[in-house]
Chains A and B, each alone.
Chain A
Amino acid sequence: ANRGGKQKKGNVTSEQEEEEQPLQAVLVADSFNRRFFPISKDQPRALLPLGNVAMIDYTLEFLTSTGVQETFVFCCWMSNKIKDHLLKSKWCRPTSPNVVHIITSDLYRSLGDVLRDVDAKNLVRNDFILVYGDVVSNIDVSQALQEHRHRRKVDKNISVMTMVFKESSPGHKSRCEEDDVIVAMDSKSKRVLHYQKTQGLKKLQFPMNIFQHGSDEFEIRHDLLDCHISICSPQVAELFTDNFDYQTRNDFVRGILVNEEILGNQIHLYVTQDGYGARVSNLQMYDSVSSDMVRRWVYPLTPEANFTDQQGQGCTHSRHNVYRGAEVSLGHGSQMEENVLIGRDTSIGANCHISNSVIGNNCTIGDNVVLDRAHMWNNVHISSNVEIHQSVVCDGAVVKEAVRLNKQCVLAYNVVIGPNLSLPEGTVVSMHHPEEEEEDDDDEFLSDDQEVGHTFNPAEVGPEGKGYIWKASMNDTEDEELAQCLWGRPLSKQNVCKVVSFQLEVLGTLQRGLEENIVCDNLVLEINSLKYAYNITLKEVMQILTRVVLEYPFQQQGTQLTTLQYTGSLLPLLKTWSPVFKNYIKRAQDHLDCLSAVEELFLEQDTHQTAMVKVLMKMYQLEILEEEAILKWFSTGATNDKSRQLRKNQGLQKFIQWLKEAEDESSEEGE
């Protein structure tokens, strides 16, 4: 007897015939971060509705349509709710082609823990697909699977993981900024040579060894959207067990690339042009994935397809991507402009204007309401004359008359916002008080904003309102970088912070040197030890030293110095510290580097450019800098317009002139 469902996935079943193993998947239904707080205090992220369907359903549908036959769902936070939801859904019916096993534990703190558990329990026998519970995708991964298996067969299990990426232009709104990567890969074998997150970085550095790999074609790509779908071999779980500090997939990729010579493992990429795959990692992504889904980019996971097979969930699809559930009533004069999804039993009042929004089941919307890019979940009650722009309103919330929600507001469960109020951008209101944290994570919240006890503040939520405002940095749309810093510095920021700390340390050293009259040799010793502690290169040390010294008067006496005062305080300092300089400036290149540091500083402090001449003069006289170096710098070092402008400075020109004459004289004298 042929089972229609299995028969369909032709190429995957033929692979399976060779391997005789069902395709397995590991679904991590917890994101291990708090991006969706305070919404995820009441409901785990995997169950938050996207287009009126829980996010985990999208992921499971994606896995099932790829041909996965056994899925392990790992839950940590609020695992009971996830378990209940899954048991009631179509995935746990006896006729489901995909068998779902739910594994819960309170001890998981990261993806690494989950994979270590997978290894410990020996759950996967073969290649498996690793996804998070909030991935929305319609990519057909069977091609990637075939390539992965082929590679492993050919290369004897060197390739441990294949990551699935989608081609997407930079800056597209489905690209999450935090996940932006730049990848260097070998074009022929699709192997990953270098992998770096680009968030917040203005300069990127590539190690030379990626260019010397023996392959003649490689690409550096920034047009990749990370789908967070990976095809892993069983070795992945073992590697996570071996390396206890691997917490995220990023760590793993870095680790593999760094340890390549030792362990010989490789990671490959699969880039897809068609197909849609994205992970809802923060509210910004929630907004864009939701709008992509309503505009049918995730076909066949469209709202009217009712792929979860729930009773009453179906809706009809009309022109301009307007979806209406059953029993929706629309008042007179209301318009649903485009890209609107309305759940069942919702009633909308008269003269409303709705566009680009998703509305859940059983909502009541009053008259004269404007909804633009609003996401409303079930049982929401909105009174008349309300305007909502680009906000999320969770289950059971009540918005009273004449309220205006500006962009990026979040109203969590059961919040009431009183009449006649306008909430500023980025407000998060929740029924949970920010200070109410019973867990040990207090240090992550800045709750000093909320001075009152536990009563509602009418100025913030309106006269009849109920709810507490959470500090705006908890809302993860604009302030992502700030939020990241609160929750632990990500790797890419560390380099920048190190340099800053080093600078501060050097400044401190020099200050103490002045106050306590420390000999210059000891200062050099201190600076050297700092260099080793912070792992700074010699060139950087010298540049930072120059900078610190030149900025010292500003540090001591504030930035409002006149040029005269500045030079007055600086020149003696130069004299005091000249041995320190001479220690570091020995080769010709060092001179040039020092000069470029000087130039950089004075380009920033352009009010004091006249002081530059005096500084250079002094440094020349103290024999910190040589005239050949200065002349070379002057003639060749102009890299942009500003530095060219600098060189046109009168005083500087005169100095250079004098230098040249001096040089000529000294060379004439034959010294």
Chain B
Amino acid sequence: MPGADKETDLTERIEAFLADLKRGGSGTGPLRGSGEMARETTYLLRRITAQARWSSAGDLMEIIRNEGRRMTAAQPSETTVGNMVRRVLKIIREEYARSRGSSEETEQQESLHKLLTAGELSEETFREHFVHLKANVIEAINELLTELDGTTDNIAMQALEHIHSNEVIMTVGRSRTVEAFLKDAARKRKFHVIVAECAPFCQGHEMATGLSKVGIETTVIADAAIFAVMSRVNKVIIGTQTVLANGGLRAVNGTHSVALAARHHSTPLIICAPMFKLSPQVFTTCSLSLNDVNSCFPVLKILSKVNVHCPVFDYVPPELITLFISNIGGNAPSYIYRLMSELYHPEDHKL
């Protein structure tokens, strides 16, 4: 039966994806960028929408929520997966609301007025069946995919506004977004870049070779020299793994020290992050457990009485950040919560 084949095929794909997620963070550093991860997740979600059996929006949302939970459990540190799931859920809600005919605005906005007046009307069960819902949802997901494809270019386009000639810019480790950003500015401006190497995986080295190939003058420094060199730097531009709901960052190990050094010298700290990295999580002390602790071997050989900790991520509080540059423009960290409400529905924050 073709239907059953499709189902098994779908399950196989989901299993393969999960296995990949689990092993994706193994030892050799992130093999895939977040952008790729987001794209893969969205493809998979589109496939689930197309091939799974569902009759109403509620069913589909339930299916996607379950799969989303499994995927986030497989690799908790990879937040883009969860973000895409939430985006798709929001798309489904919107399409449902549009099919029903009611306008989105009154449904989605949370406000004191709404709390006082709405009351029982907020019992939305998503049970109605609409013929074109599937097609609409898939089309909306395709739009999301197009947006994902264009994020790096959108960010890079804003480079000329922020980088001026003869500036000294510092960056940390390797970020594809920042690399594109700097390369775009280098077409018209001449400036220097200082790259902190970011031990123990030293991804700063790859970044430096990439930048120097385009003719940008690059200097690589050790992490310990960051504070010393900071007085000469005009701007610090870095990428991040996740942007948290309060405007803080979960970025690669060592970013917090860069941020503190920048604050001390009053150097602006600019974050280039596409919107799909925005996550509704908030930093709490126990979320240190979400910090992926990596393999210890690059640091030290195995010893009996020594415990080696090699955490992968750092938390940077929002006070240290000056500006977020994303594919929809530049924003202050205090505005992030607002952006989030446009992307995700409050009920989806906890899958």
Neighbour of A5 across the interface among B16, B289, B295, B298, CB < 8 A: B16
Q: Which residue of A lies closest to B304 (CB)?
A: A173
Whether A339 contacts B307 in the complex (CB less than 8 A), given A273-B301, A275-B297, A276-B302, comes out as: yes
Contact A299/B294 with A138-B27, A172-B302, A273-B301 known, Cβ cut-off 8 Å:
yes
Q: Which residue of B lies closest to A2 (CB)?
A: B16
- Cβ of B319 within 8 Å of any chain A Cβ, yes or no, is no
Cβ < 8 Å to A, chain B residues 6-20: 8, 11-12, 15-17, 19-20
In the complex formed, the residue of A with least CB distance to B297 is: A274
A295 to B296, CA, bound (A): 10
Contact with B along A56-86 (1 / 0, CB 8 A): 0000000001000000000000000000000
Q: Indicate the member of A97, A275, A276, A319 with the most B CB atoms within 10 Å.
A: A319
Within 8 A of B (CB), among A241-275: 273-275
Are A318 and B307 neighbours in the complex by a CB distance under 8 Å? no
Which of A5, A275, A297, A305 has a CB less than 8 Å from the CB of B20? A5
Q: Is A174 a contact of B302 with CB atoms below 8 Å?
A: yes
List which B54-89 residues lie within 8 A (CB) of chain A. 73
Interface size class of A (residues with CB under 8 A): 35 or more
The proximity string for B residues 258-298 relative to A, scoring 1 for CB distances below 8 Å and 0 otherwise, is 00000000000000000000000000001011000111111
Is B23 engaged at the interface, CB distance under 8 Å to the other chain? yes
Q: State in angstroms the CA–CA spacing of A275 and B27 once bound together.
A: 10
What is the CA–CA distance of A174 and B301 in the complex, to the nearest angstrom? 13
Counting CB contacts under 8 A, is A455 at the interface?
Answer: no
Q: Which residues of B contact A338 (CB under 8 A)?
A: 307
Q: Is A317 an interface residue (CB 8 A)?
A: yes
CB pair A8 B20 closer than 8 Å: yes
Say whether B231 faces chain A, with CB atoms less than 8 Å apart.
Answer: no
Q: A95-B16, A318-B288 are in contact. Are A65 and B304 (CB under 8 A)?
A: no
When distances are taken between beta carbons in the complex, the residues of chain B under 8 Å from A8 are 20, 23
Check A95–B27 contact: CB distance below 8 A.
Answer: no
In the complex, A174→B303 CA distance in Å? 9
**B11, B12, B23, most chain A CB atoms within 10 A:** B23
Q: Is the CB of A318 within 8 A of B289?
A: yes
Assess whether A97 is in contact with B19, with CB atoms less than 8 Å apart. yes
* B288 pairs with A297, CB closer than 8 A: no
Q: Give complex CA distance A65, B289 in Å.
A: 25
Is A314 interfacial (CB 8 A cutoff)? Answer: yes
- B26 interface hit (Cβ, 8 Å): yes
* Main SS at interface, chain A: loop
Residue B302 contacts which of A97, A292, A306, A339 (CB distance < 8 angstroms)?
A292
Q: Give CA–CA (A305, B288) in the complex, Å.
A: 15
Query: Of B17, B19, B20, which is in contact with the most chain A CB atoms at under 10 Å from its CB?
Result: B19
- Chain A residues near B289 (CB, 8 Å)? 304, 316-318
In the assembled complex, how far is the CB of residue B202 from the closest CB belonging to chain A, in whole angstroms?
15
Chain A contacts with B in 158-199, Cβ cutoff 8 A: 167-168, 172-174
Q: List 23 A-B contacts (CB under 8 A).
A: A3-B12, A3-B16, A4-B16, A94-B8, A95-B12, A97-B19, A172-B302, A172-B304, A274-B297, A275-B297, A295-B307, A296-B295, A297-B296, A297-B302, A299-B294, A299-B296, A300-B26, A300-B27, A300-B295, A314-B73, A317-B293, A318-B288, A318-B289
CA distance A153 to B251 in the complex (A): 47
Q: Is A307 an interface residue (CB 8 A)?
A: yes
In the assembled complex, which residues on chain A have CB atoms less than 8 Å from the CB atom of B346?
Answer: none
Residue of B whose beta carbon sits closest to that of A278: B302
Tell me if A334 counts as interface (CB < 8 A to partner B): no
Q: With A300-B295, A314-B73, A317-B289 given, is the CB distance from A168 to B16 under 8 Å?
A: no
Alpha-carbon distance between A37 and B26 when the two chains are bound, in angstroms: 36
Q: Is B318 an interface residue (CB 8 A)?
A: no
Q: Mark A84-119, 1 if CB is under 8 A from B, else 0.
A: 000000000111010000000000000000000000
Q: What is the CA–CA distance of A273 and B302 in the complex, to the nearest angstrom?
A: 9
Asked if B25 is at the interface (CB within 8 A of a chain A CB), the reply is yes
- Cα distance, A196 to B15, chains bound together (Å): 46
| B305 (CB) vs chain A CBs: closest residue | A173
A40 contacts B by Cβ under 8 Å: no
A299 to B26 alpha-carbon distance, docked (Å): 7
> In the docked arrangement, what's the CA distance between A275 and B298, Å?
10
Binding site for B on A (CB under 8 A): 3-5, 8, 65, 93-95, 97, 138, 167-168, 172-174, 273-276, 292, 295-297, 299-300, 304-307, 314, 316-319, 321, 338-339
- With A4-B20, A172-B302 as known contacts, state yes or no: A296 contacts B27, CB within 8 Å: no
Least CB separation from B73: chain A residue: A314
Complex Cα distance, B15 from A295, in Å, reads: 29
Q: Could you say which residues of chain B place their CB within 8 Å of the CB of A97?
A: 19
Contacts of A339 in B (CB 8 A): 307
Known interface pairs A5-B20, A300-B27. Does A95 touch B15 (Cβ–Cβ under 8 Å)?
A: yes
Task: State A317–B23 Cα separation when bound (angstroms).
Answer: 18
Q: Which residues of A contact B17 (CB under 8 A)?
A: 4
Residues in chain B near residue A297, CB distance under 8 A: 296, 302
Residues of B within 8 A of A318 (CB): 286, 288-289
Find chain B residues with CB under 8 A from A307 CB. Answer: 22
Give the Cβ gap from B272 to chain A, nearest Cβ, in Å: 28
| Nearest CB in chain B: distance from A298 CB, A | 9
Contact A299 B295 (CB under 8 A): yes
Closest to A291 in B: B304
Bound complex: CA A418 to CA B78 (Å): 49
Query: How many whole Å from A82's CB to the nearest CB in chain B?
Result: 23
Question: Which chain B positions have C-beta within 8 A of A295?
Answer: 307-308
Task: Report A338 CB to chain B, min CB distance, Å.
Answer: 7
CB < 8 Å neighbour of A321 from B16, B304, B307: B307
Q: Tell me the complex Cα distance, A314–B289, Å.
A: 13
Residues of B within 8 A of A273 (CB): 301
Whether A319 and B302, one on each chain, are in contact in the complex, defined by CB atoms closer than 8 angstroms, is: no
B166 to chain A, nearest CB (A): 43
A275–B297 CA distance with the chains assembled, in angstroms: 7
Question: Which B residues touch A304, using CB under 8 A?
Answer: 289
Give B287-338 interface residues, CB cut-off 8 Å to A: 288-289, 293-298, 301-304, 307-308
B296 touches A5 (CB 8 A): no
How many angstroms from the CA of A508 to the CA of B343 in the assembled complex?
95
Residues of B within 8 A of A93 (CB): 15
The smallest C-beta distance from A567 to any residue of chain B, in angstroms, reads 53
* Closest beta carbon of chain B to A315's beta carbon, Å: 10
Q: Give bound CA distance, A318 to B290, whole Å.
A: 8
Q: What are the residues of chain A within 8 A of B26 when measuring CB–CB? A: 65, 299-300
Chain A residue nearest to B28 (CB atoms) is A140
Report the separation of the CA atoms of residues A646 and B26 in the bound assembly, to the nearest whole angstrom. Answer: 64
- Tell me the complex Cα distance, A360–B288, Å: 24
CA distance A318 to B291 in the complex (A): 9
Which of chain A's residues have a CB closer than 8 A to the CB of B25? 300
Give the nearest-CB partner of A320 in chain B.
Answer: B307
In the complex, residue of chain B having the shortest beta-carbon distance to the beta carbon of A324: B289
Q: CB within 8 A of A65: which of B23, B73, B303?
A: B23
CB distance from B6 to the nearest CB of A (A): 13
A92 to B: closest C-beta gap in Å: 13
Contacts of A138 in B (CB 8 A): 27, 295
Hey, which chain A residues are within 8 Å of B23, CB to CB? 8, 65, 300
Q: A95-B12, A275-B297, A318-B289 are in contact. Are A4 and B19 (CB under 8 A)?
A: yes
Question: Known interface pairs A168-B302, A299-B295, A318-B288. Does A5 touch B307 (Cβ–Cβ under 8 Å)?
Answer: no
List the 8 closest A-B pairs by CB distance, nearest first: A299-B295, A95-B15, A274-B297, A4-B20, A300-B26, A4-B16, A316-B289, A95-B12
Distance in angstroms from A247 CB to nearest chain B CB is 31
Which residue on B lies nearest to A167, using beta carbons? B301
Q: Which residues of A contact B301 (CB under 8 A)?
A: 167, 273
Q: Which of B294, B298, B304, B308 lies at the interface centre, i.e. has the most chain A CB atoms within 10 A of its CB? A: B304
Give chain B nearest CB distance to A593 CB in angstroms. Answer: 44
CA distance A167 to B303 in the complex (A): 12
- Chain A: which residue is nearest B16 at the CB level? A4
Q: Considering only CB atoms, which chain B residue lies closest to A322 in the complex?
A: B289
Q: How far is the CB of A8 from chain B (nearest CB, A)?
A: 7
| A305 to B23 Cα, complex, angstroms | 10
For B298, what are the chain A residues with a Cβ–Cβ distance below 8 Å? 274
